[in-house]
Structure 1
Amino acid sequence: MKIAFSPCPNDTFIFHAWVHGLIPGAPKLEVTYADIDITNSLAATCSGPEVVKISYAALPWVLSEYALLPCGGALGRGCGPLVLMSSRAANTGGPAVLTGKRVAVPSERSTAYLLFRLWVSQNVPGGVSDIVILPFHEIMPAVRDGIVDAGLVIHEARFTYHTYGLTMLADLGSWWEAETNLPIPLGAIIARRTLHLSAIADWIRASVKYAWSHPEASQEYVLSHAQELSPEVAKAHINLYVNEFSVDLGETGYKAVNALLSRAAQVGLVPRVDLVPDSAYII
């Protein structure tokens, strides 16, 4: 079975057991490791993988071919994307300092960018000028080097941005939670509708539970894909993004996803969808 997910610690931690043949009855996986911008694009093609990690923001465009699985993704509190600037620029004012500025983002259809657009519409008079798409690990160096004025970052960047001399202008997860009192939906696991979806969900849940029961087993695998992160940062990343929603979105998780996509649809940023949870997956 072909699967695509990011090389980030939360994904490699979650899928380690399945990738290494430790889940009884689960098929062997052929893995593509790629940044979210690439996995979003893969899911939009006819030849995309059977199972793929995408941004929740990209979900409305792929639901005709893929179903949202209720596990394995990234959704939580205190884990939202950050807007970063150089310390000097960020200290010149609040969010309005972004007016007319050039901003790097990790993907046009990332949840981070969708949140950013919603936040900008409320907080940045006149909006920004240019959006530059960069792999997420290139964003902080681009801000530091003055290639862009600001950057929208995800994942472990929240633990490392200070080493680039950058300052947080806004925590979009905190903004979202204050607005909605809901967790932030970041990354979704989807599978082709032609597959045995409940079985795939069971294998993913088993892989998550194995990772929690054997936290040291995945360490070498996680660090080999973690783009030179220290073990401490990789562990902090996993602790933040792998949580109860990784096993089951539940009522709160689905409510958060619907809230994000309905707000975005109201202002024309995504097609309108109405997601209703099934016992195993959205149909």
Structure 2
Amino acid sequence: MTPPLTLAHSSCPNDTFVFHAWTHGLVPGAPAVEVTLADIDITNGLAERGELDVLKVSYGVLPYILGAYTLLPCGGAVGRGCGPLVLVGEPGDPTALSGARIAVPSTRSTAYLLFRLWAAGAVPAGVGEIVVMPFHEIMPAVRDGLVDAGLVIHEARFTYGQYGLHCLADMGEEWEKQTGLPIPLGAIVAKRSLGDRVLRELADALRASVRFAWTTPETSRAYVLAQAQEMEPAVVDQHIDLYVNPFTAELGEEGHQAVRALLDRSAEEGLLPPVAPGALDLRAEP
């Protein structure tokens, strides 16, 4: 018997919603998978070490893993109005970040790339110390004055007011203003060594899983809520509505342009190594 493929994604509602049908045997003919739930910073590291077959990772880690992995054209997080936020304790303008101590969820994340691209123009004197911490600890750290500002992702855009914090800048809004493109946040990658047939099967399974989730959302409801780290059900719904969209079902040409723009702009700023034109080949297209 062929062993199941290994898969890792986060416990965030968008991921559990998207993957539920596939990982719970509700997609006929889909490859069997053994699932690990882990924060994105952990899955990025797993991909860099080449440890699993299929992973949800930050687009910011792609240049480091494209030798072993290929980008699947569906299942990820790309969209509009869903970018990371820079939060502060008191209202102000970007110049307040000059020399500031800023908490971020990862320096390998898309959120961090978007932040650095924005800060290069908005904070000409440069930011200060970057402190990496789990994303759920960032808002309390800003509130308690342990850091001057925090870069937050996911459901924090719906809840930061509960901490008495203020949004200094919306990284997604800035990105869309500059490029006109959607925001590439999370990618699904699979090992190239699996071969074209399996890669096509994986992409088909993902598309079917997304369609199943949209058609019968009640099927995954209990599972999604159980993994949502005590998140309020209304916030879970907002999270899914924002991050699971047509780009999840198919990245498409516009999504591909957004990914290429992020990687190229980041390379120009010295934030990432350059990616060769052919390295971002979207394999397993339908």
Q: Shorter-chain TM-score: which interval?
A: over 0.9
Give the 3-state SS of the residue equivalent to 2:49 in structure 1: coil
Residue of structure 2 equivalent to 1:146: 145
Residue of structure 2 equivalent to 1:3: 7
Written as runs of structure 1 = structure 2, the 5 A alignment for 1:161-200 is 161-195=160-194, 196-200=198-202
Give the 3-state SS of the residue equivalent to 1:189 in structure 2: strand
Report sequence identity in percent: 62
Unaligned runs of 5+ in 1: none
Q: Distance in 2 between matches of 1:66 and 1:229?
A: 32
| Contact 2:66 2:280 survives alignment (8 Å) | no
Written as runs of structure 1 = structure 2, the 5 A alignment for 1:64-213 is 64-86=67-89, 88=90, 91=91, 93-195=92-194, 196-213=198-215
| Contact 1:84 1:150 survives alignment (8 Å) | yes
Q: Distance in 2 between matches of 1:57 and 1:153?
A: 16
| Contact 1:116 1:172 survives alignment (8 Å) | yes
For 2:24, give the aligned amino acid: H
Give the 3-state SS of the residue equivalent to 1:78 in structure 2: coil
Q: Distance in 2 between matches of 1:25 and 1:80?
A: 35
Q: Distance in 2 between matches of 1:38 and 1:212?
A: 28
Q: Deviations over 1:226-263 (max 9, x none)?
A: 11111111011000000000011101000000011001
Say yes or no: does 1:37 pair with 2:50.
Answer: no
CA shift, 1:271, in A, is: 1.3
Give the 3-state SS of the residue equivalent to 1:228 in structure 2: coil
Q: Distance in 1 between matches of 2:280 and 2:35?
A: 29
Q: Distance in 1 between matches of 2:183 and 2:68?
A: 24
Q: Distance in 1 between matches of 2:214 and 2:73?
A: 18
Q: Deviations over 1:195-219 (max 9, x none)?
A: 2111100001100000000011111
CA shift, 1:175, in A, is: 0.2
Q: Distance in 2 between matches of 1:231 and 1:56?
A: 28
| Contact 1:4 1:52 survives alignment (8 Å) | yes
2:22 to 18, 21, 43: 18
CA shift, 1:127, in A, is: 1.2
1:258 to 236, 257, 260: 260
| Contact 2:104 2:151 survives alignment (8 Å) | yes
Q: Distance in 1 between matches of 2:284 and 2:52?
A: 20
CA shift, 1:277, in A, is: 4.6
Give the 3-state SS of the residue equivalent to 1:21 in structure 2: coil
Give the 3-state SS of the residue equivalent to 2:219 in structure 1: coil
Residue of structure 2 equivalent to 1:221: 223
Q: Distance in 1 between matches of 2:272 and 2:156?
A: 26
Q: Distance in 1 between matches of 2:231 and 2:82?
A: 18
For 2:20, give the aligned amino acid: H
CA shift, 1:25, in A, is: 1.3
1:234 to 233, 236, 242: 236
Unaligned runs of 5+ in 2: none
Q: Distance in 1 between matches of 2:145 and 2:227?
A: 28
| Contact 1:74 1:242 survives alignment (8 Å) | yes
Say yes or no: does 1:27 pair with 2:31.
Answer: yes
4+ long deviations beyond 3 Å? 275-279
CA shift, 1:39, in A, is: 0.7
| Contact 1:13 1:211 survives alignment (8 Å) | yes
| Contact 1:223 1:231 survives alignment (8 Å) | yes
| Contact 2:31 2:202 survives alignment (8 Å) | no
CA shift, 1:135, in A, is: 1.1
- Number of aligned positions between the proteins: 276
- 156-165 vs 29-38, greater mean Cα deviation: 29-38
| Contact 1:36 1:106 survives alignment (8 Å) | no
| Contact 2:74 2:247 survives alignment (8 Å) | yes
